Structure 1
């Protein structure tokens, strides 16, 4: 390597090139195709449209070709025409025309090809060679760091997986973006949101929550916190079911507390309407077995991936998440729950717990940004909630190790069920009953508003659902309709209307079905 460094032209080459030359091999490259692609882009605008989303400047092996491509991309972003004259002028403004060989070299590039035919095929070969060079560079860096005794092996493993994941996603080198580029990206997102049927966020299936957040947004870290017994796991399971079955998205569920079989049993309970207790005991009647068999088909076909590895470290989580994203294109990650995770690496088995939680929450936010998907982490609350009275509604200060979690999270929310604390009515003007109801409290929302959203909670099935806007459980409508105190006035004769509704209900009951 020392002899190579003495040769001045090689000093500008990257490490992968030097290693390849030291071993008597040229780095992977296709200069002829690079010339053909650049020449085609300057003689046919259609060629630019086909290549611009495939290649980055670094994909070209020759430095002059990188510079020419940068000029073409710059013209494309400005909406300017792209031909040999405009490229020459842009390079002149950049002060790099002579560096690439002047106008003469640009003319030579356009003379090497007559059309942009096969330009996409050629550009993908250039990309393949770039990936090969990237793998050589990354491998050499990993080997060098692995020989360093001071290197933390867990940090190195995480970095290695992250670098390889970037290569797989075509994001080997991320550079700063101009304001113009970012404005165009933002406008595209805003425009797509305005189109009917296009959802940028991940819908939860809870109508009021989706209206407030427009769905969980890509790269957001969402904290769902509550005291034990409030239904944190039930809430995210209900949400996972809606995302996977109702909207057809892939969900990754990391459970550090419950086994995968326990979780899927709870999902079966919610999907079939059979109580969790009956499923645990296997105490089902014949028609319930039929109900179980018929109603789990959607769940069986859903893309819910459950990992129940105990004491999962943040490094293991990131590695597993990357693989799931590459293999199954997961749309959201759910972690149950944050305080059961470990930081791994040098923090394993020691260090301040608050610092460890800070490391975990910071890495969860980084993971959400890296994969560009929302990450939901459940969290415990301190016992301060229990001593508060008369209302037990949680606050941001109740979060365990709240400083780091609150700072890193884009959304912090709480689940509150007054019924758990023997509180019979809500603290509102109507004093509506709390039975079978819960409140989803959005206490921090970095990019939106705050609200307290009431949901229906079905304890026997471990399930959350939308609450009717009147605050009445839809499952109770038949009995409420037969009640003289029914809040639904009708222009028809009440007795005959009730009788008609009751007869239709009997028809459903005879078939062992549920109308709502």
Structure 2
């Protein structure tokens, strides 16, 4: 019997299985590699710039990696670089025969006559290496994406971390030799002498900067206090000092207050108008004029505010990477640590373990991005039950001892006035009205100190003790926006925050500025 299906025609064709690498070579520029190496051996011009651009692994061919390593060794030892010295160095390294002997080196020098375009060629070599790395990263991500056991959030974090290393230009070995590290340390010491002893980001508070030399890159700084002491007011005062006065980009992640509330606090501090009048909008004509004039000092300052509630450490890391990469942020502030969350299912239900994970993650972010991270933290109620002056201790850190362990610096804010005390507990019984103490309780790389500051309650700001008010200098403006397409949850513009015109309706009612957090202080 004839099979009916035998006469049925079909257009079905077997699908071809394509792979990423079939019929393709990895991105490379071997001819430019030869030209760059040859130019290095015949002309010193442009050598310094090329050495900074290129790294050994950037070269596609292994023999070119060996030759570049020999040139780098000679450069670091301040030796002349030419055909003979490179040949001798390769012989010392046992690599001369591996690269093809002196004949190959001679061939490299004969292919070029000048180093006029050596920097451009070096950039192309770098680009080819980046493309090869992207292919490698993408292949790894594809393989892990097909693995059902892969954790999606860990995979996303790994992918973004690897891509960030490329965009940040930090594609280099994870280790450095002692000579390179000593050179970097000396350069840092020189920089400190030029900046009057400040090697980090200045806080704007004179005595604090003397002790810390500024907030140091990769440090995790914990600022802890009981509710009402003024943690938020202190970091906002510091953010103003850095972003407006020093014009250094600062990022503030506020898990408690909205971005408009934070900006309004800054407006109160800058204008000197009482907070009650700002909240109610009951300003006189003269005060409105003063507001218009003074607020210009905030509009273009490099201050970026994210008020995403219950922010988790994965999202925080992603946002911080983009801020550092796109805007060159020099300091990250988090208000406050206990309001953060994790996606670690293993820590679910164990708050101490969750806080430990958050603390470790913040330290990892500071180290990865090489910027200081300042995280606010609550103190336990043990402070309130203690007798005496109720000055906070390290043991009062709330919910986890890991915070103290992970932090490079642990600081406290203490105001005796909050506890109805009218004088300090020193020998002179100095009056403490309108004053606060900034306590450095742990300092991994420096001294411990108690520093007194002035606290202006009705303006919610801190200043140096001998300073009556802020010196705002020349007006500059506040940028609370990201570039177009940066969907990070930041305030889009100053007009979006304040409205197109300034008036009582732009500042809302007193209820608009209430917060559920217990860190409520005189506004």
Shorter-chain TM-score: what band?
0.7 to 0.9
Contact 1:163 1:172 (C-alpha < 8 Å) held by counterparts: no
Could you tell me which residue of structure 2 aligns to residue 358 of structure 1? 356
* SS in structure 2 at match of 1:464: strand
Q: Which moved more, 1:69-78 or 1:239-248?
A: 69-78
Deviation at 1:198, TM superposition (A): 8.3
> Which residues in structure 2 correspond to 1:312-351 (within 5 Å)?
312-347=311-346, 350-351=348-349
Q: TM-score w.r.t. structure 2 length?
A: 0.84
Alignment check: 8 A CA contact 1:152 1:345 kept: no
Query: Which position in structure 2 is the counterpart of 1:422?
Result: 420
Alignment correspondent of 1:466: 464
Deviates more, 1:51-60 or 1:82-91: 82-91
Which residue pairs with 1:125 in the alignment? 124
Which residue number in structure 1 is paired with residue 513 of structure 2? none
Alpha-carbon distance between aligned partners in 2 of 1:218 and 1:178, rounded to the nearest angstrom = 20
CA 1:403/1:223 → structure 2, altered by over 3 Å: closer, same or farther? same
> TM-score, normalised to structure 1's length?
0.85
Q: Give per-residue Cα distances to partners, 1:268-315, cap 9 Å, x unaligned.
A: 101111122211111111111111110010111111100000110111
Moved more, 229-238 or 163-172: 163-172
Q: Distance in 2 between matches of 1:78 and 1:363?
A: 39
Shift of 1:197: 6.3
Does the 8 Å contact 1:225/1:413 carry over to 2?
yes
Choose between structure 1 and 2: higher helix proportion: 1
- Does 1:50 pair with 2:49? yes
CA distance in structure 2 between the aligned counterparts of 1:100 and 1:404, rounded to whole angstroms: 52
Deviation at 1:45, TM superposition (A): 2.1
Contact 1:154/1:345 (CA < 8 Å) preserved in 2?
Answer: no
Provide the rounded CA distance (Å) in 2 between the counterparts of 1:63 and 1:329. 35
1:253-268 residue pairs with structure 2 within 5 A?
Answer: 253-268=252-267
- Superposed displacement of residue 210, structure 1: 0.7
- What is aligned with 1:211? 210
Q: Relative to structure 1, is the Cα distance of residues 107 and 351 closer, same or farther in structure 2, using a 3 angstrom cutoff?
A: farther
CA distance in 2, matches of 1:191, 1:89: 35
Return the structure number with greater relative CO, CA threshold 8 A, min gap 6.
Answer: 2
* Native 8 Å contact 2:41 2:109 kept in 1: yes
State the partner residue of 1:239. 238
After TM superposition, give the deviation of residue 389 of structure 1 in Å: 1.3
CA contact (8 A) 1:438 1:456 kept: yes
Contact 1:265 1:276 (C-alpha < 8 Å) held by counterparts: no
Query: Secondary structure at the residue paired with 2:338?
Result: helix
**Cα distance in 2 for residues equivalent to 1:248 and 1:19:** 50
**Corresponding residue for residue 457 of structure 1:** 455
3-state secondary structure, aligned to 1:296: helix
Cα contact 1:254–1:336 (8 A) shared by 2? yes
1:345 shift after superposition: 4.3
Q: Distance in 1 between matches of 2:302 and 2:147?
A: 42
Q: 450-459 vs 401-410, which deviates more?
A: 401-410
Shift of 1:201: 1.1
Instruction: For 1:70 and 1:342, locate their aligned partners in 2 and report how far apart those are by CA, in whole Å.
Output: 46
Residues 1:413 and 2:411 are matched in the alignment? yes
The Cα shift of 1:421 comes to: 0.4
1:346 Cα offset (Å): 3.5
Q: Secondary structure at the match of 1:382?
A: coil
* Match in the other structure for 1:64: 63
Whole-Å separation in 2 of the counterparts to 1:132 and 1:351: 44
1:133-154, Cα deviation, whole Å (9 max, x unpaired): 1111111111111111111111
Is 1:440 aligned to residue 438 of structure 2? yes
Mapping of residues 70-149 of structure 1, within 5 Å: 70-149=69-148
Equivalents in 2 of 1:251, 1:347: separation in Å?
33
Give the C-alpha shift of residue 175 in structure 1.
2.9
Report the counterpart of residue 309 of structure 1 in structure 2.
308
**Secondary structure, aligned partner of 2:439:** strand
Measure, in 2, the Cα distance between the counterparts of 1:244 and 1:305: 10
CA distance in 2, matches of 1:379, 1:174: 35
**1:351 Cα deviation (Å)?**
4.5
Q: 1:425 to 1:323 in 2, by over 3 A?
A: same
2:36 is the alignment partner of 1:37: yes
Cα displacement (A) at 1:205: 1.0
What residue number does 2:8 align with? none
Match of 1:389 among 387, 390, 394: 387
Structure 1 consecutive aligned stretches of length 4 or more whose deviation exceeds 6 Å: none
Task: Count residues in correspondence.
Answer: 452
Whether contact under 8 Å (1:255, 1:306) holds in the other structure is yes
Query: Offset at 1:31?
Result: 0.6
Aligned to 1:200: 199
Aligned to 1:167: 166
CA contact (8 A) 1:50 1:119 kept: no
